[in-house]
């Protein structure tokens, strides 16, 4: 059951990140064509590409967590025996989850501030809450992926 949930979460994250990166590529390509071929400019393209990259980065961080691709020091895990490694891995995941909770809390503060102020982006005039939502959404996605990876790793011990 957990494997199916993990598969759905990974595939949906991969699809969404791929969609974001594809859209960003198209927007940047259009900007290059407009700037150098048509000799014009798309004033919103750089801003949109930036926001798409921010969203893709946070979703990608969750995907890295799901695939155990985040940077880690395995020296201590390999130095000690299986039981100590399990304890060290559990401690690592607890620190990651505690950090995620703190980050989600403060990112919601930032999002709520954007909602209260009603700030809009300069070029596209979209509510700034949309780009800032990448913070809590991405961190929650990463925490879910870390939790699933933790259970998978504990099952393999």
pLDDT range class, residue 157, cuts 50, 70, 90: low
**With b meaning 16 or more CB within 10 Å and e meaning fewer, what string describes 88-111?**
ebeebbeebeeebeebbeebeeeb
Measure the CA–CA gap between 141 and 148, rounded to whole angstroms: 11
The domain of 69 spans 2-156
Tokens read off for 100: 């995620």
Q: What is the pLDDT of residues 52-72, one digit of tens each?
A: 999 999 999 999 998 888 777
The whole-model pTM stands at 0.89
Span of 5-19, 68-82, 109-123 with lowest mean pLDDT: 68-82
Structural domains in the chain (count): 1
Answer with the residue of higher pLDDT: 56 or 156: 56
């Amino acid at each position: 059951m957990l494997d199916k949930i993990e598969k759905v979460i990974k595939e949906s994250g991969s699809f969404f990140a791929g969609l974001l990166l594809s859209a960003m590529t198209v927007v940047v390509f259009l900007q290059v064509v407009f700037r150098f071929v048509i000799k014009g400019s798309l004033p919103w393209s750089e801003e949109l590409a930036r926001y798409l990259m921010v969203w893709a980065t946070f979703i990608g961080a969750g995907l890295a967590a799901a695939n155990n691709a985040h940077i880690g020091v395995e020296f201590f895990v390999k130095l000690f025996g299986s039981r100590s490694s399990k304890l060290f891995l559990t401690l690592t995941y607890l620190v990651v989850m505690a950090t995620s909770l703190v980050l989600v809390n403060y990112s919601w503060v930032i999002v709520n501030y954007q909602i209260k102020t009603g700030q809009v982006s300069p070029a596209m005039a979209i509510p700034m809450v949309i780009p800032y939502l990448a913070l809590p959404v991405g961190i929650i996605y990463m925490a879910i992926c870390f939790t699933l990876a933790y259970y998978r790793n504990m099952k393999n011990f």
